[in-house]
Amino acid sequence: MNLEGKNFLITGGTGSFGSTVCNFLLKKGVKEIRIFSRDENKQYEMRKKINDSRVNFLIGDVRNYDSLLEGCYGTDYVFHAAALKQVPSCEFYPLEAVKTNIIGTENVLKAATINKIKKVVLLSTDKAVYPVNAMGISKAMMEKLMLAKSIQIDNKTIFCATRYGNVMCSRGSVIPLFVNQIKSNLPLTITDPHMTRYLMTLNQSVDLVMHAFDRGLKGDIFVQKSSSSTLVDLATALKNIFNYKKDNIVIGTRHGEKLYESLLSREEMARVSDNGKFFRLPADNRSLNYKSYFEEGREINKEYEEYTSHNSKRLTIPEIEKILLSLDFIKKALKN
């Protein structure tokens, strides 16, 4: 898709994803990028770092519909990345997750519709599949809102979504925690040695979102085929890189944490299409009139297995080390 001369709004744009996709879009000749967030200090730091007149910063909160309505005016496309993402925090303050992740998304979709935005790409999470914590439940509801508006409302705005796991070295993730513990000469704290997580770079998250942006139809959800690692293997790889000898300590799982994450449920795997590097999960466009389905029936001959960090490709420790050494965060940490 030709992005030259286009206008973008990125909610939660000062986060790890926002800054990465912003740099990507600037190289594609876009006309304007609006960074929409509520943290003025992060906006100040990002403004200094990017230093490009095409990037404008809007103070606002997705909980406030009016600020979104103004922010979307004259915009072509929206990337909705604003969210409460920390699982333990959402467990203690679930209503805050509802306000940001559910009501905030409703405000984004409504403001985009009113302003006749061409396409909105929502960023969801593996925790929305079989959710057991408040963050995952709120993100699952975010997806349901997107799907409902896609199939019920007759408008020209396309709503679609991406779903991915942990982004390596993003704020609040485990790799910066481990590196900080190494630099502080502390043992690495492992919640559960058998816990598995997807490993995804920031650039891969941008690739997935741009794939959805380019190919997404109403109600589509896109998933990238991802590799995974156990937490203990990830810790071992980091210790090898930094030549660190202290033992790990097992502290147990935190509030709301799962042993492994799922990107696609068994029920969804029955409907996905394989797009090479990605899975596309189309919207279920059936109406509430189920009579025709009862009369005609539908034959399903195959059993499907959910797509999880337990059954996806498991990285070896040398493979993890290779990925880690390619990350700017790790390169800077090694220099320091």
Give the pLDDT score at 218: 95
Helices (H), the chain: 16-27, 40-50, 65-72, 87-92, 94-97, 104-114, 134-152, 174-183, 202-215, 231-241, 266-269, 291-296, 317-325, 328-335
Question: What distances in angstroms separate CA 114 from CA 70, 119, 139, 191, one per listed residue?
Answer: 11, 13, 23, 45
How many Cβ atoms are within 10 Å of 172's Cβ, its own excluded? 13
Residue the block writes with tokens 């490009």: 52
pLDDT at 37 over 90: yes
Provide the pLDDT confidence category of residue 170 given band limits of 50, 70 and 90: confident
- pLDDT reported for residue 184: 95
Q: In this model, does residue 148 exceed pLDDT 90? A: yes
Residues 226-267: pLDDT tens digits? 899 999 999 999 999 999 999 899 999 888 888 889 999 999
Q: Average of pLDDT values for 77-83?
A: 97
Q: Alpha-carbon distance 25 to 81, whole Å?
A: 15
Calpha distance 204→222 (Å, rounded): 13
Provide the pLDDT for residue 246: 92
Q: What is the pTM of this model?
A: 0.91
Average pLDDT value for residue range 303-316: 90
Distance between the two ends of the chain, CA-based, in angstroms?
40
182 vs 286, residue with greater confidence: 182
Is 127 designated active site?
yes
pLDDT at residue 214, rounded to an integer: 96
Q: Lowest-confidence range among 126-135, 234-243, 278-287, 288-297?
A: 288-297
Q: Domain limits of the chain?
A: 7-165+199-225
CB 192 within 8 Å of CB 231: yes
Tokens 């609006």 -> residue: 34
CB 30 within 8 A of CB 22: no
Burial bucket for residue 30 (CB in 10 Å: 0-12, 13-18, 19+): buried
Position 163 pLDDT exceeds 70? yes
Q: Position 200: which residue type?
A: M
Helices (H), 28-116: 40-50, 65-72, 87-92, 94-97, 104-114
Q: Looking at 80-94, 226-240, 267-281, 287-301, which range is the least confident one?
A: 287-301
Report how far residue 178's alpha carbon sits from residue 37's, in angstroms, rounded to the nearest whole number.
28
Q: Are strands 196-199 and 262-264 parallel, antiparallel or unpaired?
A: unpaired
Q: What is the mean pLDDT of residues 217-225?
A: 96
At 120, the pLDDT band (50, 70, 90 cuts) reads very high
Question: For position 298, what pLDDT does the model report?
Answer: 58
The token pair at 12 is: 């939660």
Q: Which tokens sit at 260?
A: 């492994």
Q: Name the catalytic one among 42, 127, 218, 258.
A: 127
Q: With 0-12 CB in 10 A as exposed, 13-18 as middle and 19+ as buried, what is 286?
A: exposed
The per-residue pLDDT for 258 is 87
Q: How confident is the model at residue 180, as a pLDDT?
A: 94
Q: Among 71-80, 113-122, 219-228, 294-303, which is the least confidently predicted range?
A: 294-303
| Mean pLDDT for all residues in the chain | 92
Alpha carbons 94 and 216: distance in angstroms, whole number: 30
- Structure confidence at residue 22 (pLDDT): 96
pLDDT at 166 exceeding the cut of 90: no
Q: Which CATH topology does 7-165+199-225 take?
A: Rossmann fold (3.40.50)
Residues 61 and 69: beta-carbon distance below 8 Å: no
Express each pLDDT in 123-147 by its tens digit: 999 999 999 999 999 999 999 999 9
